[in-house]
Amino acid sequence: MNLESTFRFLFVAIFVAALSISIYHRHKARQRGGQIARSEESALMIFFRVLIALPLYAAMLLYMINPNWMSWARFDVPAWLRWCALVLAATMLPLLLWLFRSIGRNISETVLTKSEQSLVTHGPYRWVRHPLYSAGAFGFFALGIVAANWFITGMMLLVIFMLPLLVEKEEAQLLAKFGQSYRAYMLRTGRFLPKLNFMRTRSATV
């Protein structure tokens, strides 16, 4: 097996593992907590899924089936950088297991809030409000580097750029449901990364 085949094999392994984890836990959540139809989402979300998510997943699928089909989007990436990206992508898997087990039946297929949804503040949600978006965005961006494919990498950059717009709609739903509890939760957590409260750290050391 040459180096390109090794990268492709590991790309497939990580992608399939991440997809399997997501499908399994989302299926369990639908059984326990119900499901919201995607058709109830806004036009922005439909736009996001059709014009961004579908081409992204299609490109990844084509690369996994036959890399030559995506050779037009190949760019030169040093092998050491691809190995580093592979490690980053692999760390997505335990993060996904941790966050899905933490959120349980409260995971939603949409940015809308379930009627029986509860506010989860343990596990990774203790520090980050949307760890699923963070893990997925960084993990799949890293896979684009592993594939040395500028289209996959560029589409993931576009996803990362659009995430704050999508999350604003989701957090508006959560604020409407949980009110002051969610406002307080927002103050002590970061949206995509843990909040670094330098002032608190500084006062604690004085």
| Ordered structural domains, the chain, with CATH | 3-205 (1.20.120.1630)
pLDDT value, residue 173: 86
Specify the DSSP class assigned to residue 202: H
Specify the DSSP class assigned to residue 30: H
From CA 80, how far away is CA 15, in angstroms rounded?
Answer: 20
From CA 33, how far away is CA 25, in angstroms rounded?
Answer: 12
Q: Is the sign of the CA dihedral 87, 151, 191, 204 positive or negative?
A: positive
135 contacts 92 by C-beta, under 8 angstroms: yes
Stretches in the chain below the pLDDT threshold 50: 198-199, 201-206
121 contacts 181 by C-beta, under 8 angstroms: no
Q: Can you tell me whether residue 191 is helix, strand or coil?
A: coil
Evaluate if pTM is beyond 0.75: yes
Amino acid identity, position 150: W
pLDDT value, residue 94: 96
> Diameter of the chain by CA atoms?
60
52 contacts 155 by C-beta, under 8 angstroms: yes
pLDDT value, residue 38: 55
pLDDT value, residue 34: 59
Distances (CA, A) of 156 to 142, 179, 181, 188: 9, 32, 32, 28
From CA 70, how far away is CA 66, in angstroms rounded?
Answer: 8
pLDDT value, residue 35: 58
For the stretch 75-102, pLDDT in tens is: 999 999 999 999 999 999 999 999 999 9
